[in-house]
A and B are shown apart, each in its own frame.
Chain A
Amino acid sequence: MIATKLDLTTMQRESSIREPLILGHKTYKDITDDVVAPIMGPASLGWKIMITISSIIAIYGIGSILYLIGTGIGAWGLNKTVGWAWDITNFVWWVGIGHAGTLISAVLLLFRQKWRMAINRSAEAMTIFAVIMAAVFPGIHMGRIWLAYYVFPLPNQFGSIWVNFNSPLLWDVFAISTYFSVSLVFWYVGLIPDFATIRDRMTKPFAKKMYGIMSFGWSGRAKHWTRFEELSLVLAGIATPLVFSVHSIVSMDFATSIIPGWHTTIFPPYFVSGAVFSGFAMVQTLMLVMRKAYKLEDYIHIKHVEYMNIVIIVTGSIVGVAYLTELFISWYSGVEYESYAFINRFSGPYSAAYWTMMTCNVISPQLFWFKKIRRSFVATFILSIVVNIGMWFERYVIIVTSLHRDYLPSSWGEFIPTATDIGVFIGTLGIFLTLFLAFTRFFPVLALNELKTILKSSGESYKNKQVK
């Protein structure tokens, strides 16, 4: 018996040189107190101001969408040559952003990366909201949105005209809806035990009742926890190929066509790494504000930021290599249409967009090789926004420059966004931020139950060494 106790007290659970994941000497209760504080207390003034601004932008966006639906797709800057532009750019951008959440919650779970526990909950929320925003675009671009159900293989009265299962656009319908719904249940299953914690603490009767309903009567039984861990592991296992498949399928919307600039086999891995790259940048932007606003500096600190910046260097470099490979192959293939598509990209009417993309996505992430920059909150925040801008331009460049000059010079044209184009995009940013702010107010932003499991192995020996 004594031997067991000694084993437990002397057990070395972690590296003594690795920086701790949770700063300070916290107890289980401290973790609950810190994470639940924003939910239990009144809303801060900063939160009220932020949500007011984001709601106004959201309302403007909804107005733009209603105007678009009422007027028709003519309200966008599309023309006969450029039939796909701003809407699909935004769709791909938002779906890409979503990828970081699944990568953090699923792939890093499989790799047993404990640092993910501080950021997975909010990153998953970001994924869900980003995918909702992405889904807006294919919806509204249909023009007659009330016929949107045509994308699903439903029996209908026009003879049995079924959807075309050979088309990547239909694969997208299945990929995005599976991705959204699986991410949602993965996120919610993790939330149930944390809702139970809030339910058991809440004093306001109505809120207690609501959290009671949302916690599904969770009681923390040993068998339930066993099932919970098994479920999380299997869901992570199946969400991992899912996340790779989703952006691969999105890239096939382009890659299976015969448009020079789109028809390349490099697209699936290139899009997936680009998605993770932009997603992590968005996680950084949101987390850096959230940790400050909700006083979560002990849980999301510079080591977490550094880990995420390392992912940004890796994926950003893959994206950079993909850009250069595309350029090389367009020359090496000897196909003049392919060559022209790329020459036109960097020297044509959209060259500014191309060079913005190159600067933001190829050069800026390389700055993270410097430890001082990688471990700086300010530099990370600025660079994360730069990467987000760059990744938006990447999609714009791929889509618009490949379409605006085709095989027949007489049909060349240009795309200029209208106020409706811009309004809808800005609006989705507003809706996304409003949803995210509402999440931070009413949901536990850190995974309480997961953080508590790493408390004892979160760097105590490192901290003790520092004290000595």
Chain B
Amino acid sequence: MKKVFHVMYDDDDKLLVAARELVGKGIHVNEVFSPFPIHGIDPIIGIKRTRLAITSFMYAMTGLSLAVFFMWYTMISDWPMNIGGKPNFSLLENLPSFIPVSFEFSVFCAAHGMVITYLLRNRTLPGMPATNPDPRTTDDKFVMEITTDTNAMSAEDLESAIKNTGLLELSIKDFK
């Protein structure tokens, strides 16, 4: 029977030390649930650096291109107007006055695109069910999730390794 261990700690530093110790023994830590970001946990449990910032740059470039294209289309190509003696002849001549809107629209697309990507990648969307194993993990407790199916060790060996890590509570459930 596959098993899932939820190991609870009452301090982030204790969890960090425990995770380092377990990983040092070759144990794979599936997930960590915490009420705030634990700095330094990512390299220990093998989380790669997020590429979210790159997507933001791509959204910004998309916004910039769309804004410049749209302003060129409306002001220069589709219906050029002479407003207050300041005619709209070419994109190059008009570019200085197009800068504010280009900038704002780039920021608009970068921010919203990145937030939407973040929510989709996290699978955190309105009305989604919570998946933290214990409600206290959003308050003051820190939980490490270890499963037998991602580890070569037997459930008994895992349990004995986990028990010596200064934990607060240990819950062992059958894997669904």
Contacts and interface: CB of A to CB of B under 8 A. Distances in A.
Nearest to A216: B124
Contact of A234 (B20, B56, B135): B56
Contacts of B129: 212, 217
Given A199-B130, A238-B107, A166 B47 contact: no
A170 B101 contact: yes
A29 interface: yes
Contacts of B31: 221-222
A453 interface: yes
A71 B167 CA distance: 70
Given A171-B104, A225-B37, A162 B79 contact: yes
Contact of A218 (B70, B74, B97, B130): B130
B173 interface: no
Interface string A196-214: 1101110000000000111
Given A201-B139, A231-B114, A182 B108 contact: yes
Contact of A238 (B101, B111, B124): B111
A242 interface: yes
B24 to A, nearest CB: 9
B102 to A, nearest CB: 9
A27 interface: yes
B176 interface: no
Contacts of B111: 181-182, 185-186, 235, 238-239
B119 to A, nearest CB: 7
The main secondary structure of chain B at its interface with chain A is: helix
Contacts of A196: 130, 132, 138
Interface string B73-101: 01100110101001010000010011011
A229 B83 contact: no
A245 B99 CA distance: 11
B5 interface: no
Interface stretch (A1-9, A47-55, A127-135): A1-9
B13 A226 contact: no
A57 interface: no
Nearest to A447: B36
A170 B100 CA distance: 10
Contacts, number: 213
B138 A193 contact: yes
B139 A29 contact: yes
A5 B17 contact: yes
Contacts of B1: none
B52 A200 contact: no
Nearest to A11: B13
Interface of A: 1, 4-5, 8, 27-29, 32, 153, 159-168, 170-171, 174-175, 177-178, 181-182, 185-186, 189, 192-193, 196-197, 199-201, 212-231, 233-235, 238-239, 241-242, 245, 249, 252, 448-450, 452-453
29 contacts: A8-B17, A28-B139, A28-B140, A162-B79, A165-B101, A174-B108, A175-B100, A182-B108, A186-B111, A212-B130, A216-B119, A216-B125, A216-B126, A216-B128, A219-B137, A221-B31, A222-B47, A223-B122, A226-B42, A226-B50, A227-B122, A228-B37, A230-B53, A231-B115, A231-B118, A234-B52, A238-B110, A245-B100, A449-B35
The 8 A-B pairs at the shortest CB distance, nearest first, are namely: A217-B128, A28-B140, A200-B135, A225-B37, A162-B74, A219-B132, A216-B124, A171-B100
Interface of B: 13, 16-17, 20-21, 31-39, 41-42, 45, 47, 49-50, 52-53, 56, 60, 70-71, 74-75, 78-79, 81, 83, 86, 88, 94, 97-98, 100-101, 103-105, 107-108, 110-112, 114-115, 118-119, 121-132, 135-140
Given A166-B94, A182-B108, A224-B122, 20 more contacts: A4-B17, A8-B17, A160-B79, A165-B97, A174-B104, A182-B112, A199-B138, A212-B129, A216-B127, A220-B35, A220-B132, A221-B32, A221-B122, A226-B37, A234-B53, A234-B56, A235-B111, A249-B100, A448-B36, A449-B36
